[in-house]
Chain A
Amino acid sequence: YNVLNVKEFKERCTQCAAVSWGLTDEGKYYCTSCHNVTEISKEVINTGDIPNTKIQAINRGLKRKRKLEKGWDWYVCEGFQCILCQQAEALKTLGVGPELKNEVLHNFWKRYLQKSKQAYCKNPIYTSRRKAVVLEENLSHSDWESEPELLSDFSFPFVESGAESQSDVNTQKSFPVIKASQSETASVCSGSLDGVEYSRRKEKGIVKMTMPRTLAFCYLSLLWQRETITLSDLLRFVEEDHIPYINSFQHFPEEMKLYGRDKGIFAIESWPDYEDIYKKTIEVATFLDLPRFPDITEDCYLHPNILCMKYLMEVNLPDEMHNLTCQVVKLTGIGEVDFLTFDPIAKMAKTVKYDVQAVAIIIVVLKLLFLLDDNLEWSLSNLAEKHNEKNKEDNPWFDFRKWYQVMKRTVDEKKQKWEEARAKYIWKSEKPVYHSSIDKSVVYKRREMVVSLQKQFSTLVDSTPTVGKKSPSSFQFSWSEEDTDRTCFHGHSLQGILKKKDQSLTTKNSLYWLSTQKFCKRY
């Protein structure tokens, strides 16, 4: 409905000259690209053309009765859409290309809406009698078309230009039909229209959207684009507040009120867990029936050859080790395109944990070089130390012990800072979220108390500013040869632990497995 009408309005916006319009609550046209509101309102000309329910929807007064706060009507899915938008924007700020937001993530999300709506309308086993009644009513009045109004009025369309394509209209029509699930009792309520019902919903075969799953979507998009951000990087950015996650609902539009059951859906109080997000990534990709992802070839960031180099630099190991990591990759076949590329449709849908794998390879190489039986690595270190003492002008031999000492200290310092940051993390949002009308005033009062206490104590804190919000970086540690305080091992040589064998070099250490009677059968 809305799309047809706004297409009729073909004026150029006075502020940005775009031709892309939406309708405000009051029925006035506004520019979807710069949000300039005009005084021109859409008049309903022929009421005969428009079914009753649409007029009701336009008037919007209907649902206000039972709400605790004035605001727009919104669905939980729209909330998630808003959050995904924020996350995509944040990724753009981190340097990811705009196609991720406008195309990749947008398409995944559309697909999700399509896939998840199928169960809502066609499944006859649908739960409560009440919903069935609503369904029938709505179906007869073909209320579907009123949904797009709700969506497009929000000023966070995925695509920048604002012009919705025809396919988008279809997608938007696919919104869940259930509207009247506001519970009678004041104690069970939500700011969203379907918050209560959403949190109770449990359908087989449907992947319900949750906060952790937003990150799964992000990661899938990153993977599709083969961006230079691994899953562990992504989660670290989340924890460092570079990507909205905790309290992301605070950035909903002012009119999108959130309370009651919405809290359980959007106000998450745990950081994302790697294993959890990893599993969810596969789960979502499978649910969305995604095809094989773009190939991960040797020149991709996620290929172990490149990732290993990155991690070697990050943990201050010699560049010469890269040669060995590449060899290991080749020998084990884990650099093959088919092995690395994610294919959800494959029988055993799996995606490689690129970051973990790269680090594992480095550990394997360390073991090849040093055996790591708490003996050989130290004797080799002694040799290196002796050599370095005698040959101060030459390029030093890599000394494992020295490296361990330098690295351990650095890691310990970082770990302590990380733990302290976690202990000081402020979880509670500035605007309090209450459960129901009963506790609304208490929740607001509590927030007031907390704020005043925090204010008082902040004056007692040392005013010398500690390092502010870190600028995001994919490297947690950086080393440089110029830095005289900390040894940089990048250029150090592996000469001391390699030996010539025919034309090539091989490790002096010939063992790998630590002596065991027999291998453990369980693993």
Chain B
Amino acid sequence: MSDFSGELTRPMAEADQVEKSMLSGTGMSIPWLRKQMETVETGGKKEKDFAKTTSACLGLIQEALLKHQWEKAAEYMHSYFQILEDSDAGKRQAAPEIIWRLGSEILYYHPKSNVETFSTFADRMKNIGVMNYLKSVLLLLQISLQHALYLLHHGMLEDANRSLSQAETWRYGEKSSSQDILINLVQAYKGLLQYYAWSKKKMELSKLDEEDYAYGTATQNMRSHSWKTSVNLSALIQIPGVWDPFVKSYVEMLEFYGDQDGAREVLTNYAYDEKFPSNPNAHVYLYNFLKREKAPKEKLISVLKILYQIVPSHKLMLEFHRILRNSDKEEHHKLGLEVLFAILDFAGCTKNITAWKYLAKYLKQILMGNHLAWVQDEWRSRKNWWPSFHFSYFWAKNDWTEDKALACEKALVAGILLGKGCRYFRYVSKQGHQGLKKKMKRMNRAVKSYSIVDP
């Protein structure tokens, strides 16, 4: 009790002495206390009803947005605009950004809104930002970028380009890192737009004949686009971040013009530079590039190994397993088993028949090769939970009804790992006895030979 009262008396330091003495005695919270405490928070000055209105209004807008009630949100927004005229300079200052975020959200989803309404709103907010330019450069950049993305979304590439070009002109004072990033983003999106233009030209070009008179100009056009693109994109992708679409486009262009080294450098940087956030896609891009280049197996393995560490359930893992399986090195074979087990650790992959097929086959292969220890290694950390995760009676029934082939593969694995007495194996054998006698016989034989469980 005494601790509690201490906590309450602390913020009360400035409040009435009477109340303080009342409080310390009982340590109880009294309802009217709250009003006093609110007063203390605002520094003694009672909050004006205007401020209460705007903060309540803001709450209602946010609630309406969460509930996807766009019309209601617009209604409250109508009342909220008065915050731009707040006598409190601090609130006035912060208002444009809040209004932009909420307003753009509403206009993005509202059924009666269209590109024109959104653009009008964006332009108005830019005007407000310009009115207070010195403090609003970041906001201006944000608005322009979002506006451009919205236009892109609706297929209005030229307007988007215009908005981005306008944004490029907004720069003020010392370069701040946040400003830098936004400007780089703006330029990168411009680059992306140029990439689209280049891409279109490429398609047109593919329809033309080399003898065609237009071929030469087309090629030249493409060249100029690509140059612009590279200038814009390369700046951005040097900054740590996740830039998938930009990187992909850039690399595509580089490859088209035969600049393999350039492409490789970009992708390697993107995947391996420690300053960049961990991004599985970076490794996927690099892997695919190396595959196209027909790089040596060692290289492919090293790239996929990192991907395996980041996302063991990635769909490329099956391919990874195949590469490992076909390798000469024993350590790769061991890794191949690891990878397979790891895939099936994930709930999303439990019905992947290829994975189960591979596992069944590979287990036999491994055990034939006298590597029981490897299997035991993998099984040790899984034997507590895999049985109920994969091989429960429920799953047996479920799998058999849905996909008999899957059930058989799983049964084989279950038999090997858990012995032929396990529920899954027994159920499938019994069920399969009717129609798939031959298969069952094979299964039985395999389990008999390979099961790691002593009979």
Contacts and interface: CB of A to CB of B under 8 A. Distances in A.
Nearest to A442: B131
Interface string A422-458: 1111111000100000000011011101101110111
Q: Which range contains the number of B residues in contact with the other chain? A: 35 or more
Contacts of B113: 460
Contact of A447 (B78, B85, B106): B85
A39 interface: no
Interface string B102-137: 010010001011000100110010011001000000
Nearest to B77: A457
B74 A422 contact: no
Contacts of A432: 85
Given A446-B85, A447-B85, A460-B71, A426 B127 contact: no
B52 A450 contact: no
A436 to B, nearest CB: 14
A269 interface: yes
Contact of B60 (A420, A452, A453): A420
A459 to B, nearest CB: 7
Given A426-B82, A432-B85, A461 B56 contact: no
Contact of A422 (B52, B112, B128): B52
Contact of B131 (A427, A445, A462): A445
B84 interface: yes
Interface residues of A, number: 31
Contacts of A269: 48-50, 87
Contacts of A426: 79, 82
A270 interface: yes
Contact of B81 (A271, A442, A453, A459): A453
Nearest to B72: A462
A271 B47 CA distance: 11
B118 to A, nearest CB: 10
Interface string A396-426: 0000000000000000000000011011111
Given A450-B85, A458-B78, 8 more contacts: A270-B46, A423-B59, A424-B60, A449-B124, A452-B124, A457-B81, A457-B103, A460-B106
B76 interface: yes
Contacts of A424: 53, 57, 60, 75-76, 78-79
Contacts of A446: 84-85, 131
**Chain A binding surface, main DSSP class:** helix
Contacts of B57: 423-424
Given A423-B56, A461-B78, A449 B84 contact: yes
Contacts of A445: 131
B124 A428 contact: no
A372 to B, nearest CB: 17
A459 B113 CA distance: 10
Nearest to A455: B78
Contact of B50 (A427, A450, A461): A427
B56 A271 contact: no
Given A270-B48, A270-B50, A420-B60, A454 B112 contact: no
Nearest to A443: B85
B84 to A, nearest CB: 5
Interface string B136-175: 0000000000000000000000000000000000000000
A116 B103 CA distance: 51
Interface in A188-237: none
